[in-house]
A and B are shown apart, each in its own frame.
Chain A
Amino acid sequence: MSRRSLLEIRNLRVRVNGQEILKGITLAVYPGEVHSIMGPNGSGKSTLAQVLAGREVYEIVEGEVLYDGEDLLLMPPEERARRGIFLAFQYPVEIPGVSNLHFLKAAVNTIRKQRGLPELDAMEFLALAREKAKLVELDENLLQRAVNDGFSGGEKKRNEIFQMTVLEPRLAILDETDSGLDIDALRVVAQGINALRHPDRAIVLITHYQRLLNYVAPDVVHVLYDGRIVKSGGKELALELEEKGYGWIAEEIIGSPRS
């Protein structure tokens, strides 16, 4: 492919509390693509997502990450967000007393500023928020409530997707946004993701289930196992994993001489 990758991870090794969690990840994501990352609990999926978003508790031991050709690891988290990286959190955080709308308006406007666009005033923002809330079928009451405060598990996930559709990121990383959703919510989340799809944008879906992939067809599926990407393939890989679990991959790895 001659086009430049949007995200390029080279041999990334990450430690937390002295323990190595990511043990050499290499991955390239091109504009327009949807990648899915699957893997057993504790394999390092969220760690990878959080490192890409700039969480500072993780120690980078080795490797580099380029975002749109620039060194991502040098940028503070807000800079990454302003340049279009969005992380839908596996566990969205509650911020008591801060209205969801107020929070998102501040986010939209810092990002617009970065893009050289004029800030949205209260009316313009409200119109945008209402439109997107409708798209992801988010109860309008949740807009007025404090960020994630007392939201149900499913409401929190839906709120993440709502934020994503409002912020229109170039690289969206969704960490198990499909977990704990009922069937309708799953469809809606998929709708939000599909609405974001665009030749200039890319999406990384971290998931345990291939059911989301029924709605959002990934270009590539990766298996993250014990801090390494041990297998990559097409959509069928997800089906195979769902059927057989991860055991066979473990055997494959142990069976094959890896360096």
Chain B
Amino acid sequence: MATPTNIIEELVNREYRYGFVTLVEEEVFPPGLNEDIIRRISARKNEPGWLLEWRLRAYRYWAKLVEEGAEPRWANVTYPPIDYQAIRYYAAPKRRPKSLDEVDPEIRRTYERLGIPLEEQERLAGVAVDAVFDSVSVATTFRQKLAELGIIFCSFSEAVQEHPELVRKWLGSVVPYTDNFFAALNSAVFSDGSFVYVPKGVRCPMELSTYFRINASQTGQFERTLIIADEGAYVSYLEGCTAPMRDENQLHAAVVELIALDNATIKYSTVQNWYPGDREGRGGIYNFVTKRGKCLGRNSKISWTQVEVGSAITWKYPSCILIGDNSVGEFYSVAVTNHHQQADTGTKMIHIGKNTRSTIISKGISAGHGQNTYRGMVKIMKGATRARNYSQCDSLLLGDKCGAHTFPYIEVHEPTAQLEHEATTSKISEEQLFYCRQRGLSAEDAVSMIVNGFCKEVLRELPMEFAVEAQKLLGISLEGSIG
């Protein structure tokens, strides 16, 4: 009988589509982490002394946390201890292109298979792409066109070489390396990522995006993204992620820092489809990510939208620190857990400025044995007069072996603040499925449609080019490959 549960099970049987491996010669560091490895990473990238020093300070801080056994364990996820000495911290294709035309054909084909063309006049003509392959950026499109407007869009490594003053000013200003265990690790070993600077008064005319691909085995990916929107600037940025299917767990520990000055807006969207592991829970990416934005300026706005369908474990809380008066923070999230996937995700909204507003819309979908936790904090500091927050957390359960959990923390030190919180839990009913099928829809299409309907308020926040992809992905990934 076609119950929602066994339809999900059928969906689950589908394959992860992006599980292939690219055969390309890569330079890889031996497994293990110590100061020497960090010096080698820094040297590979020809970094200035201050940056190496910063890495080393982060490393020492992290090493101390390891000694103290201070790896965070508070999240509602379980996994065996990670052996940080068994991970390789650097892997990069040997051939390094100087321009787009020189990109290794194998790598170009990889991105084509992933649906990310590295040609500028291609399908996604309104989107500039930075392609990160293991530890390094291999291509960035439309740089010239953007440069004409004064917009800097390049790999992090290039930014360090070409705009050291900007990097030095803002790096770690939102997420200091002391922030948490994984942020410290990332600060020590990060290898690449994207850098964006949009100058005063400029509205970025195209979507900027980074596509993260893990390819090498036994390797962690530690990227760092830094986006600065100067006064009155606007930018919409999107990241996508996939990885090969492997029995081992691979660690992805990224840090993303956003800075919005007066009247600036940053819209940051993620479609995360890392390999989720197989049906028994073998393999998959550990996605331990720190993402945070600072609304420094008055009337600034930072909006996070995430569609999290992959990874064995997701641990991330894209947050906003609302410092400027009248600044706005938003968090729109869809998190899917299927099979044995675990997600503990949510946001923090810290209200400091007057009249600051935040909105949280979280949609958790659990299937199989998936465990889905929403963890959110809304903090209103003294002096954040008339601050407002609206939170809505909805959970959809597909089947009876999965779980949904909600942990909203609220801390209010300002009597004029207004907070609203709503939460619901629902299931796809047999009646709904039958109704759809009676109208001719297949059971799979019906589930996909109902799930997409459930997520609608979040999906409509995605840039057009990606909304369709994300909808398909949800269809597939309910399997660990909704698409």
- Name A's B-contacting residues (CB within 8 A): 53-57, 76-78, 80-82, 86-87, 89, 92-98, 102-104, 106-107, 110-111, 114, 146, 163, 167
Query: Which chain A residues lie closer than 8 Å to B70 at the CB level?
Result: none
Contact with A along B1-27 (1 / 0, CB 8 A): 110000000000000000000000000
Query: Which chain A residues lie closer than 8 Å to B439 at the CB level?
Result: 81, 103-104, 106-107, 163, 167
Query: Which chain A residues lie closer than 8 Å to B453 at the CB level?
Result: 95-98, 146
Say whether A77 contacts B438, CB under 8 Å: yes
Do A78 and B441 contact each other (CB < 8 Å), given the known contacts A92-B435, A97-B456? yes
B451 → chain A, closest Cβ, in Å?
9
B452 proximal to A (CB < 8 A): yes
List 14 A-B pairs, Cβ < 8 Å: A54-B438, A76-B2, A78-B443, A86-B438, A93-B431, A97-B454, A98-B449, A102-B449, A103-B439, A104-B439, A106-B449, A110-B442, A111-B440, A114-B440
Say whether B1 contacts A107, CB under 8 Å: no
The B423-451 residues at the A interface (CB cut-off 8 A) are 429-432, 434-443, 445, 449-450
Query: Which chain A residues lie closer than 8 Å to B445 at the CB level?
Result: 106, 110
Do A55 and B440 contact each other (CB < 8 Å), given the known contacts A97-B454, A98-B450? no
Q: Of B435, B441, B443, B456, which contacts A89 at CB under 8 A?
A: B435
Query: Which chain B residues lie closer than 8 Å to A54 at the CB level?
Result: 434, 437-438
Question: What is the chain A residue whose CB lies nearest that of B455?
Answer: A97
Say whether A77 contacts B452, CB under 8 Å: no
- Name B's A-contacting residues (CB within 8 A): 1-2, 429-432, 434-443, 445, 449-450, 452-457
Question: What is the chain B residue whose CB lies nearest that of A146?
Answer: B453
Question: What is the chain A residue whose CB lies nearest that of B428?
Answer: A95
Q: Of B436, B438, B441, B454, which contacts A96 at CB under 8 A?
A: B454
Do A55 and B455 contact each other (CB < 8 Å), given the known contacts A78-B440, A103-B449? no
Say whether A82 contacts B2, CB under 8 Å: no
| CA gap between A163 and B436 in the complex, in Å | 12
A223 → chain B, closest Cβ, in Å?
26
Say whether A53 contacts B455, CB under 8 Å: no
Query: Which chain B residues lie closer than 8 Å to A167 at the CB level?
Result: 439-440
Q: Of B431, B437, B452, which contacts A81 at CB under 8 A?
A: B437
Question: What is the chain A residue whose CB lies nearest that of B454?
Answer: A97
Q: Of B432, B441, B443, B456, which contacts A93 at CB under 8 A?
A: B432
Query: Which chain A residues lie closer than 8 Å to B449 at the CB level?
Result: 95, 98, 102-103, 106
| CA gap between A53 and B433 in the complex, in Å | 13
Say whether B434 contacts A77, CB under 8 Å: yes
B464 → chain A, closest Cβ, in Å?
15
Q: Of A55, A94, A102, A106, which contacts B434 at CB under 8 A?
A: A55
Query: Which chain B residues lie closer than 8 Å to A107 at the CB level?
Result: 439-441
| CA gap between A53 and B452 in the complex, in Å | 25
The 5 closest A-B CB pairs, nearest first, are A97-B453, A98-B453, A107-B439, A93-B435, A81-B440
Question: What is the chain B residue whose CB lies nearest that of A96?
Answer: B453
